[in-house]
């Protein structure tokens, strides 16, 4: 029986990548005297690397920087400060239909959790602003695990905290690395794509949707017990 739904954050609960994280990275580059700037397409390609600090480090290493790890740490600290500022004062909002889905899941008695590679320093204020405090029973961030997605560690930790087996939960993700992490932890995964991930391959997904329109508790229950497929099942109650 499905008793919990675990959500990714970036690109899933909110479209934060293009107009939130990306400009924050660019401001950090400028502050540190770097000429690099990530445009919309560049950033989309870089999203294959999970975790902002790892993304910067890979980027710097590919350009032959003498200390990619050290500079990546400094850049990521600055980027996080800029992103938190945007979260607190910018035009951030949840993806259309997310608030309706969460209300329906709560009404159905399902437990809600968050599993993200993001840092708690920005994840906590983002969730508080969008959904209010204590909206989720557990929140696992990149600070809580050694290995980030696509490794299953964050999902496994969330299940331990909830005291559940993988069969009792379903993951809602937006990207191939996120789905891979959920599947490696034994969870079925429902994918809701966004502008960056539309058209990507999602092998093993229980369902692949273009939006949250019509997605409800009954649909998630069906998807959690459906054979892994890319086909779109009827997700309406």
Query: Is residue 8 annotated as a catalytic residue, yes or no?
Result: yes
Residue 139 bridge partners (DSSP): 114
169-173: strand order across its sheet: 138-140, 111-115, 4-7, 169-173, 189-192, 207-209
In order of 147, 165, 173, the CA distances from 157 in angstroms are 11, 11, 17
As a residue count, the chain comes to: 237
Catalytic residue among 8, 15, 174, 216: 8
54: left (phi over 0), alpha (psi -120 to 50) or beta: alpha
> By the 8 A CB rule, do 92 and 14 touch?
yes
Dihedral angle computed from the Cα positions of residues 151, 198, 171 and 214, in that order, rounded to the nearest 10 degrees: 180
CA quadruple 106, 205, 44, 77: dihedral sign? positive
Query: Is residue 39 annotated as a catalytic residue, yes or no?
Result: no
Query: What is the spatial distance between Cα 127 and Cα 121, in angstroms, rounded to a whole number?
Result: 11
Catalytic machinery residues = 8, 10
């Amino acid at each position: 029986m499905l008793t919990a739904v675990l959500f990714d954050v970036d690109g899933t609960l909110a479209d934060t990548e293009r107009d939130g994280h990306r400009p924050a990275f660019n401001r950090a580059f400028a502050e540190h005297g770097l000429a690099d700037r990530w445009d919309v397409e560049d950033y989309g390609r870089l999203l294959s690397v999970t975790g902002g600090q790892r993304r910067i480090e890979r980027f710097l290493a590919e350009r032959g920087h003498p200390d990619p790890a050290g500079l990546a740490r400094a850049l990521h600290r600055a980027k996080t400060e800029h992103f938190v500022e945007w979260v607190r004062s910018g035009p951030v909002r949840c993806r259309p239909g997310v608030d309706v889905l969460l209300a329906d899941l709560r009404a159905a008695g399902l437990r809600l959790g968050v599993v993200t590679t993001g840092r708690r320093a920005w994840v906590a204020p983002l969730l508080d602003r969008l959904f209010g405090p204590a909206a989720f029973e557990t929140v696992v961030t990149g600070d809580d695990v050694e290995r980030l997605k696509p490794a299953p560690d964050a999902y496994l930790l969330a299940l331990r905290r909830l005291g559940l087996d993988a069969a009792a939960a379903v993951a809602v993700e937006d990207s191939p690395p996120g789905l891979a992490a959920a599947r490696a932890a034994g969870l079925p995964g429902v994918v809701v794509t966004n502008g960056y991930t539309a058209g990507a391959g999602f092998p093993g997904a229980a369902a692949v949707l273009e939006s949250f329109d019509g997605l409800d508790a009954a649909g998630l229950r069906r998807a959690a017990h459906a054979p892994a497929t890319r086909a779109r099942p009827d997700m309406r109650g």
